[in-house]
Amino acid sequence: MIAPVRPHSRIVVVDAHPNDYDTIAHSPEFNHCEFQFHRDGRSALRDDDREYPELCVINMNLPDMSGLDLYEMVNERWPGVPVYMVGDDYRPEDEVQARISGATFYFCKPLQCEWLAATAAG
């Protein structure tokens, strides 16, 4: 059984297609969780929230930059925060690059609630 998500957990998602996360964001497992969506890397970087999120999810292919480039910047801003790199479709080379970069996990869409809940639960 997966531990319940901590109250007031924050998950930052950077993906040009935030609707792909509707099922997860509205799942009962995340009732007390705030999802913060950004459609591109610049939007995520402009966010001045100083509080570390419990999890950051970054698409490999963003409209304005590489997800891996954003990962490096996010890792400097929020060291120690788990980062899931996500592909729209599975590509072995994306998984290899995500693992080399140091990201916590690489997944392809559609994401499963359990994958995010386990990390958000701490």
Residue 85 to residue 99: CA distance in whole angstroms: 9
Q: Which residues pair with 11 in a beta bridge?
A: 35, 55
16 or 32, which is more confident: 16
Omega into 110 within 30° of 0, i.e. cis? yes
pTM: 0.88
Phi, psi at 70, each rounded to 5°: -65, -40
Match 């980062």 to its residue by tokens: 83
**What is the band of 120 on the pLDDT scale with cuts at 50, 70, 90?**
low
- Write out pLDDT tens, residues 38-48: 999 999 999 87
Residue 32 to residue 34: CA distance in whole angstroms: 7
